[in-house]
Amino acid sequence: MDLATLQAQLKDQSPQAAPVHLWDPPFCGDMDIIIKQDGTWCYNGTPITREKLVSLFSTVIKKENNKYFLVTPVEKVGIQVEDVPFVVINWELKDDLLVFTTKEGIQFTVDEEHPVELRFRPEQEAEIPYVKVRGDLFARLHQNTFYQLVSLGELVDQGNGKALLTVKSGNYAFSLGEVC
């Protein structure tokens, strides 16, 4: 994967605009890149500390058949992802819309196109919120972000002695989990 060529191809595109869904280049093998559960990108077991490089890679990641790849218009290399490729580390309210920001700087509004879903994580024995970033790629909410969002939540009675902690972004509502 030639980084200079990739940078030139993507120079005028925002992180959300890289058309990876249109690219179907030949598979060129696996690269020793792993995205750790905490969102750290590592190459050959060493964290990648160049933020611009990680940001660039985040624009060209693609998921196919439960496998992750970095793709360009001419090549595709396999990478490993421990959980999901992105972690939401920040949020803000713009008017009544909730805007999330990932560790790589990708911003998006939580809505029907970017829904939040709860997934059970056995190692934590709890449901954890994930949000769709683009295509089939998701982000996990960082623990600090989750706790901050709790302050926005409203309890919605389920009628069985339990309630859901619900947060709204415009007309879209999602649950942060069940409250006993």
Q: Residues 97-109, buried b or exposed e (16+ Cβ, 10 A)?
A: ebbbbbbbebebe
Determine the Cα–Cα distance for residues 15 and 135; give it in Å rounded to an integer.
Answer: 13
SS3 state of residue 50: coil
* Confidence bin at 33 (pLDDT 50/70/90): very high
More confident residue, 94 or 2: 94
Task: Give the pLDDT confidence of 89-130 residue by residue, as tens digits.
Answer: 999 999 999 999 999 999 999 999 999 999 988 887 888 999
**Domain count within the chain:** 2
Asked if residue 75 and residue 90 are part of one domain, the reply reads no
Asked if residue 131 and residue 75 are part of one domain, the reply reads no
Q: Give yes or no for residue 15 having a pLDDT over 50.
A: no
Q: Which residue in 57, 54, 34 sits closest to 44, CA to CA?
A: 34
Q: Can you give the CATH number for the domain in which 49 is found?
A: 3.10.540.10
Average pLDDT taken over every residue of the chain? 89
- Residues 31-46 have a mean pLDDT of 95
Asked if residue 64 and residue 99 are part of one domain, the reply reads no
Phi-psi region of 125 (alpha: psi -120 to 50; beta: other; left: phi over 0): left
Q: Can you give the CATH number for the domain in which 174 is found?
A: 2.30.270.10
Determine the Cα–Cα distance for residues 115 and 157; give it in Å rounded to an integer.
Answer: 21
Record the pTM. 0.86
- Residues 62-80 have a mean pLDDT of 94
More confident residue, 13 or 69: 69
Asked if residue 101 and residue 59 are part of one domain, the reply reads no
